Amino acid sequence: MLANIGFGALLITAILSAYGIFAAVYGVIQKRARWVDSARNAMLLTFPLLTLAAVSLIILLVDNRFEIQYVASVTSRSMPTYLKITALWGGQQGSLLFWAWLMSAFTTAVTLRKWDRDREFLPWVIVVGLITLLFFLLLILLYENPFMKYWALPGGGIVGALFRPAGATLFTPADGSGLNPLLRHPGMIIHPPLLYLGFVAFVIPFSFAIAALITGRTDDRWIRLTRRWTLWAWLFLSLGLILGGRWAYDVLGWGGYWGWDPVEIAAFMPWLTGTAFLHSVMIQEKRGMLKHWNMVLIILTYALVIFGTFLTRSGVLSSVHAFAQSAIGPAFFGFIALTFIASLVLLAWRWSSLKAETQMTSMFSREALFLLNNLLFIGILIVCFWGVIFPLISELATGQKVTVGPPFYERATAPLFSGLLLLMGIAPLAAWRHSTVKTLGRAAWKPLVLSVLVVAGIFALGVRHWAALVGFWLVAFVTGVTLYEFYRGAMARHRKSGENLALAVVRLAGRNRRRYGGYIIHLGVVLMAIGIIGIEMFQQETQGTIPQGGELALGEYTIRYDRLDIFDAVDNRNVARATLSVFKNGEYVTELHPRRDFFYDSQQPMTIPGIRSTMEDDFYVLLVDWLPVSTAGATFKVYHNPLVNWLWLGGFVFILGTFLAAWPEKETEPVLRTVPAQARRLQAYGD
Amino acid sequence: MFNRSKFFIGGLLIVAAVVYLIISSTQASAQYFLTVEEVNQRADEVLDRELRISGAVLGDTIDYDAQTLTLRFTIAHVPGDNKEIEARGGLAAVLNQAVNDPTLPRLQVVYNGVKPDLMRHEAQAIMTGKIGEDGVFYAEELLLKCPTKYEEAVPQQSEG
Each residue's pLDDT tens digit, A5-16: 999 999 999 999
A187 within 8 A of A246, measured Cβ to Cβ: yes
Q: For residue B158, tell me if it sits in a domain.
A: no
- Buried-state track A502-534, b at ≥16 Cβ within 10 A, e below 16: eebbeebbeeebbebbbbbbbbbbbbbbbbbbb
Q: For residue B152, tell me if it sits in a domain.
A: no
Q: Compute φ and ψ for A303, nearest 5 degrees.
A: -60, -40
- pLDDT bucket at B151, cuts 50 / 70 / 90: very low
The yes-or-no verdict on residue A632 having pLDDT over 70 is no
- pLDDT bucket at A628, cuts 50 / 70 / 90: low
A368 within 8 A of A327, measured Cβ to Cβ: no
CB contacts of B154 in chain A (<8 Å) are 180, 182-183, 321-322
Q: Are residues B86 and B38 in the same domain?
A: yes
B26 close contact with A: CB closer than 8 A: yes
Q: For residue A357, tell me if it sits in a domain.
A: yes
- Buried-state track A460-488, b at ≥16 Cβ within 10 A, e below 16: eeeeeeeebbbbbbbbbbbbbbbebbbee
Instruction: Name which of B3, B18, B117 is nearest A606 (Cβ-Cβ).
Output: B117
DSSP string, A81-108: HHHHHHGGGSSHHHHHHHHHHHHHHHHH
Q: How many CB atoms neighbour CB A157 within 10 A?
A: 10
Spell out the residues 6+ positions from residue A336 whose beta carbon is closer than 8 angstroms to its own.
A303, A306, A307, A310
The yes-or-no verdict on residue A314 having pLDDT over 60 is no
CB contacts of B28 in chain A (<8 Å) are 407-408, 411
The yes-or-no verdict on residue A306 having pLDDT over 70 is yes
CATH code, B140: 2.40.50.140
Boundary (domain end) residue, out of A384, A404, A424: A424
Q: Are residues A492 and A388 in the same domain?
A: no
Q: Are residues B70 and B35 in the same domain?
A: yes
Q: What is the C-alpha R_g of chain A? A: 28
Report the percent of chain B where pLDDT is more than 70: 88
Q: For residue B156, tell me if it sits in a domain.
A: no
Q: For residue A681, tell me if it sits in a domain.
A: no
Q: Are residues B36 and B25 in the same domain?
A: no
Spell out the residues 6+ positions from residue A443 whose beta carbon is closer than 8 angstroms to its own.
A429
Q: Is the dihedral of CA A65, A71, A77, A80 positive or negative?
A: negative
Name the domain count of chain A.
4
Boundary (domain end) residue, out of A128, A146, A179: A179
First to last CA, chain A: 74
Pairing of strands B51-57, B30-34: parallel
Cα separation values, A461 from A456, A457, A458, A464, A614, Å? 9, 6, 5, 9, 20
Name the domain count of chain B.
2
The yes-or-no verdict on residue A540 having pLDDT over 80 is yes
Q: Are residues A402 and A464 in the same domain?
A: no
The yes-or-no verdict on residue A506 having pLDDT over 90 is no
Cβ–Cβ gap B21/A411 under 8 Å: yes
Q: Are residues B21 and B62 in the same domain?
A: no
- Taking residues B65-91, report their average pLDDT: 82
A450-491 confidence digits (pLDDT tens): 999 999 999 999 888 999 999 999 999 999 999 998 988 888
Q: For residue B154, tell me if it sits in a domain.
A: no
B29 close contact with A: CB closer than 8 A: yes
Helix, strand, coil percent values for chain A (each to nearest 5)? 65, 15, 20
The yes-or-no verdict on residue B106 having pLDDT over 50 is yes
- pLDDT bucket at A678, cuts 50 / 70 / 90: very low
Per the model's pLDDT, the better-predicted residue between B67 and A317 turns out to be B67
Q: Are residues A283 and A322 in the same domain?
A: yes
B25 close contact with A: CB closer than 8 A: yes
Interface of A with B in 414-433 (CB under 8 A): 415-416
CA A317 to chain CA centroid, nearest Å: 20
Interface pTM, i.e. ipTM = 0.77
Q: Are residues B24 and B53 in the same domain?
A: no
A92 close contact with B: CB closer than 8 A: yes
- pLDDT bucket at A324, cuts 50 / 70 / 90: very low
Cα separation values, A259 from A151, A264, A271, A563, Å? 41, 8, 17, 33
A164 within 8 A of A181, measured Cβ to Cβ: no
Residues paired with B154 in a beta bridge: A322
Minimal CA separation from B81 to chain A, in Å: 10
Instruction: Name which of A91, A376, A606 is nearest B152 (Cβ-Cβ).
Output: A91
Per the model's pLDDT, the better-predicted residue between A685 and A648 turns out to be A648
Q: For residue A678, tell me if it sits in a domain.
A: no
Q: For residue A129, tell me if it sits in a domain.
A: yes
- Taking residues A127-151, report their average pLDDT: 93
Instruction: Name which of A320, A543, A637 is nearest B157 (Cβ-Cβ).
Output: A320
Q: How far apart are CA A209 and CA A39, in angstroms?
A: 19
A635-645 confidence digits (pLDDT tens): 888 999 999 99
The yes-or-no verdict on residue A164 having pLDDT over 90 is no
Residue A111, classed as helix, strand or coil, is helix
- Residue positions counted in chain A: 687
Q: Are residues A501 and A647 in the same domain?
A: no
Q: For residue A677, tell me if it sits in a domain.
A: no
Quote the mean pLDDT of chain B.
80
- Taking residues A355-382, report their average pLDDT: 87
Q: Are residues B44 and B82 in the same domain?
A: yes
Q: Are residues A124 and A108 in the same domain?
A: yes
A238-274 confidence digits (pLDDT tens): 999 999 888 888 877 677 888 888 888 989 999 999 9
Of A61-70, A120-129, A196-205, A242-251, least confident by mean pLDDT is A242-251
Q: Are residues A219 and A264 in the same domain?
A: yes
- Residue positions counted in chain B: 160
Per the model's pLDDT, the better-predicted residue between A677 and A84 turns out to be A84
- Buried-state track A625-643, b at ≥16 Cβ within 10 A, e below 16: bbeeebeebbbbbbbbbbb
Q: Are residues B25 and B100 in the same domain?
A: no
Q: Are residues A349 and A253 in the same domain?
A: yes
What pLDDT is attached to residue B159? 31
Query: What is the domain range of residue A3?
Result: 1-179
Q: Are residues B24 and B103 in the same domain?
A: no
Q: For residue B153, tell me if it sits in a domain.
A: no
Q: Are residues A104 and A130 in the same domain?
A: yes
Boundary (domain end) residue, out of A179, A203, A228: A179
Q: Are residues B57 and B94 in the same domain?
A: yes
Quote the mean pLDDT of chain A.
86
Cβ–Cβ gap A382/B151 under 8 Å: no
The yes-or-no verdict on residue B82 having pLDDT over 80 is no
- Taking residues B64-88, report their average pLDDT: 83
Cα separation values, A365 from A186, A416, A485, A539, A573, Å? 45, 20, 17, 40, 61
Q: How far apart are CA A91 and CA A85, in angstroms?
A: 12
Q: Are residues A198 and A283 in the same domain?
A: yes
Q: Are residues A660 and A533 in the same domain?
A: yes
Q: For residue B56, tell me if it sits in a domain.
A: yes
Q: For residue A134, tell me if it sits in a domain.
A: yes
Q: For residue A652, tell me if it sits in a domain.
A: yes
- pLDDT bucket at A674, cuts 50 / 70 / 90: very low
Q: Are residues B134 and B105 in the same domain?
A: yes
Q: Are residues A403 and A485 in the same domain?
A: no
CB contacts of A374 in chain B (<8 Å) are none
Q: For residue B70, tell me if it sits in a domain.
A: yes
Q: For residue A430, tell me if it sits in a domain.
A: no
Find which of A183-187, A309-313, A551-555 is predicted with most confidence, using mean pLDDT. Answer: A551-555
The yes-or-no verdict on residue A319 having pLDDT over 50 is no
Query: What is the domain range of residue B78?
Result: 31-145
Q: Are residues B42 and B89 in the same domain?
A: yes
A585-595 confidence digits (pLDDT tens): 989 999 999 99
CB contacts of A261 in chain B (<8 Å) are 155, 157
Q: Are residues A88 and A112 in the same domain?
A: yes
The yes-or-no verdict on residue A25 having pLDDT over 90 is yes
Instruction: Name which of B21, B145, B151 is nearest A415 (Cβ-Cβ).
Output: B21
Q: Are residues B9 and B77 in the same domain?
A: no
Q: How far apart are CA A495 and CA A214, in angstroms?
A: 49
User: Nearest 10 degrees: CA dihedral of A410, A415, A419, A424?
Assistant: 30
Helix spans in B30-157 (H): 36-41, 82-87, 90-100
Cα separation values, A1 from A66, A172, A202, A646, Å? 14, 15, 35, 51
What pLDDT is attached to residue A358? 79
